Amino acid sequence: MRRPKVLVVDDDPSVLTALEDELADHYAVTTATAGEEALALLESRDFDAVISDVRMPGIDGVEVVRRAQVLRDNLVRILLTGYADDSALAAARSPAGVYKLSKPWGEELEIVLRRALEQRERLREFETRLDRERLARERAQVFAVRLDKMALLGTLTASVAHELRSPLAYLSANLEWLNAAVLELSQLLEAAGAAAESAAGATDPAWAVLRERWAATQASGTLGDLGEVCGDCLGGLRRLTQIVEGLHAYAAPSRRRPEPVNICECVDLAARMVSARYKRDVKIRTSFAPDVPWVIGHEGEFTQIVINLMINGIQAMGEKGSVEVRAARRGDWVEIEVLDQGPGIPDPVRARIFEPFFTTKAETDGTGLGLSISREIARRYGGELLLASTGAQGTTFVVRLPVPKDHEVRP
């Protein structure tokens, strides 16, 4: 096993020799005859403990152990003194205190040093365990956020499929029409080219047939419809792109650094996704104050909060009624309000509403994690999720996110 490294500091050579002889069997001992020398050693090498005389010329022992703590915060520090030193006593009584022993030290020094090093090792193991538990907790939080996000996607899957099916259907029909129209126009152009090469020229009967077909094409509106159909196709493709990009922004893991986010776009994305699922019986309204500042965070996570609150409100209304989402600046905060027309939240439920896994819904309707995770996301970025009001006329939740110092921030 590695022997603990101990730095011994004393301006008396005989004391240094005595300390080295006593400790050398169990410790790797390094000696210094002055405070300045000891600090130089502490800066250049790793030690487990420092034992210092109090009264020395220049930098005294109290200052040595004080600076030693700055250099190595987990260092065992022991002061030796043959006098009633107030400064040594004060150092021993401080919150990050040292051990203080009187000269002659007898067997006490080795016992105190061994016990202090054992305590130091236990503390190090405890801190390592805490780091592991903190890492595991952070990973669990990330997993819980992803789990809730996937649960919401499951709720919206059918509506998303419908949203994709509609533009795909008219894209398919329009492309079939375009294919036939282009074939017809190609045939006309080919016939026109053949007639132009004819020696008879305009008196050739082929020209008369060509003019009749061209007139029929114009009468049917084929040429005019081409532009309109192409526009419809481009519109459908843009809609498909919006849906796919929205799903990507929502579902993508937030491993990137926080970045500027347009909170109004988050609300719009959430409203589109939720309205596709509940558009028959639920009306969703959004409103934004002028110049709502951007915030710092992740678009997918902020969208997740709004979707959670909207779906909670819709389910509280029995999936019939209206939900309103507003965004505005209030002082140093950007606030997103989500208002429903449900029956409100009873007092016993209100007290537990943000508890993880607490839910009043059926097992198939929720995990009980939505509000807890949403509040955790808001807090992660310096904000908060609040139950602002509830009653017979509905419930209002408010998401508060801090306005960046440079409130004009943009990507």
pLDDT at residue 219, rounded to an integer: 47
Between 12 and 227, the higher pLDDT residue: 12
CA-angle at 301, arms to 356 and 252, nearest 5° = 115
Local structure of 409: helix, strand or coil: coil
Are 197 and 204 within 8 A, CB to CB? no
Tokens in use for 133? 């538990």
Between 49 and 243, the higher pLDDT residue: 49
> Of 282-286, 330-334, 350-354, where does mean pLDDT reach its minimum?
350-354
The residues that bridge with 79 in the sheet, in sequence order, are 52, 100
Region of residue 297 (left: phi > 0; alpha: psi -120 to 50; beta: else)? left
Local structure of 33: helix, strand or coil: coil
For helices 299-316 and 263-278, angle between their N-to-C axes, nearest 10 degrees:
40
The residues near 214 (Cβ < 8 Å, ≥ 6 apart) are: 188
Checking DSSP bridges between strand 259-261 and strand 295-297, what pairing results, if any? antiparallel
Residue 73 pLDDT exceeds 70: yes
Tokens in use for 370? 């939505």
Spatial distance between the Cα atoms of 21 and 29, rounded to a whole number of angstroms = 9
CB atoms within 10 A of CB 28: 14
Tokens in use for 362? 């059926």
Q: What is the mean pLDDT of residues 73-93?
A: 75
Spatial distance between the Cα atoms of 311 and 278, rounded to a whole number of angstroms = 9
Residue 167 pLDDT exceeds 80: no
C-alpha dist (Å) from residue 318 to 186, 321, 331, 341: 57, 8, 35, 10
The top-scoring range by mean pLDDT among 17-31, 85-99, 252-266 is 17-31
Q: What is the mean pLDDT of residues 298-323?
A: 89
Are 209 and 267 within 8 A, CB to CB? no
Residue 114, judged by CB atoms within 10 A of its CB (0-12, 13-18, 19+), counts as middle
pLDDT at residue 280, rounded to an integer: 79
Tokens 């152009």 found at: 189
C-alpha dist (Å) from residue 180 to 174, 177, 183, 327: 10, 5, 5, 49
Spatial distance between the Cα atoms of 327 and 174, rounded to a whole number of angstroms = 39
Tokens 């499929």 found at: 161
Percent of the chain with pLDDT over 90: 23
The top-scoring range by mean pLDDT among 38-42, 93-97, 152-156 is 38-42
Closest Cα to residue 170, out of 235, 226, 227? 235
C-alpha count within 13 angstroms, C-beta hemisphere, residue 118: 6
The top-scoring range by mean pLDDT among 67-71, 91-95, 123-127, 260-264 is 260-264
pLDDT at residue 199, rounded to an integer: 44
Confidence of residue 296 (pLDDT cuts 50, 70, 90): very high
Spatial distance between the Cα atoms of 333 and 378, rounded to a whole number of angstroms = 12
Tokens 């440079």 found at: 406
Checking DSSP bridges between strand 28-32 and strand 76-81, what pairing results, if any? unpaired
How many residues make up the chain in this entry? Answer: 411
The per-residue pLDDT of the chain, averaged, comes to: 78
The residues near 393 (Cβ < 8 Å, ≥ 6 apart) are: 341, 344
For helices 108-197 and 299-316, angle between their N-to-C axes, nearest 10 degrees:
90
pLDDT at residue 125, rounded to an integer: 85
